[in-house]
A and B are shown apart, each in its own frame.
Chain A
């Protein structure tokens, strides 16, 4: 597509529930990234996929967070047993390796 697409744009969930966030990168972009942005804060790196290489999971805050990328394209970020501190905007970006990212508009997650 023309840009990075994320869905849903907003998600409200109850504490303890699992959520899945989806990212559709730009066609041909082999690198895909997930970041988290809390209100008024900077960008916190979560996970990075590059081609067929093992993903860089060094930013995942706990084992409740996981992500996968199927067929080198669409990615899903899963948060299990959500907590209130998980409330944030989750941003996905894609790129041709070693060049600038193109970000999606993000998914605003609210855990109540």
Chain B
């Protein structure tokens, strides 16, 4: 069945270092991908998205990379800060063009001061 998975459940980085969170997706028909950040006690918040006609997109301190050949998505956070500590979810739109997103299980990012 369709699935979106993350390679590591927890990532621990030093404050100021760059973070890379990875995601593998299984549905080659997906053409829209999103990263969400969820802080404790809150709903997920949109970080950045990318469509399949691109392989890289940059935001403020964040970059999303898409490798369609190996169905891999990554989120890079530059100069990681304590406020970046959260659970990060990737999501894909799957097949069928339904508008419904399929979410991965999440990676917890811990930033050490």
User: Which of A's residues lie within 8 Å of B, judged by CB?
Assistant: 4, 31, 33, 35, 41-43, 45, 48, 50, 56, 91, 93, 95, 97-98, 100-106
Contact = CB atoms under 8 A, between A and B. Distances in A.
A88 to B, nearest CB: 13
* Cβ-closest 5 pairs across A and B: A103-B43, A42-B105, A43-B103, A97-B99, A100-B34
B53 interface: no
Interface string B29-57: 00010101000011111100100000000
Nearest to A108: B41
Residue in A48, A95, A98 whose Cβ sees the most chain B Cβ within 10 Å: A98
Interface of B: 32, 34, 36, 41-46, 49, 89, 93, 97-106
A2 to B, nearest CB: 14
A100 B46 contact: yes
Contacts, number: 50
Nearest to A43: B103
Given A41-B105, A98-B97, A105-B41, 18 more contacts: A33-B100, A35-B103, A42-B104, A43-B44, A45-B103, A48-B98, A48-B100, A56-B98, A91-B43, A98-B93, A100-B49, A101-B46, A101-B101, A102-B46, A103-B43, A103-B44, A103-B45, A106-B42
Contacts of A33: 100
Contacts of B46: 100-102
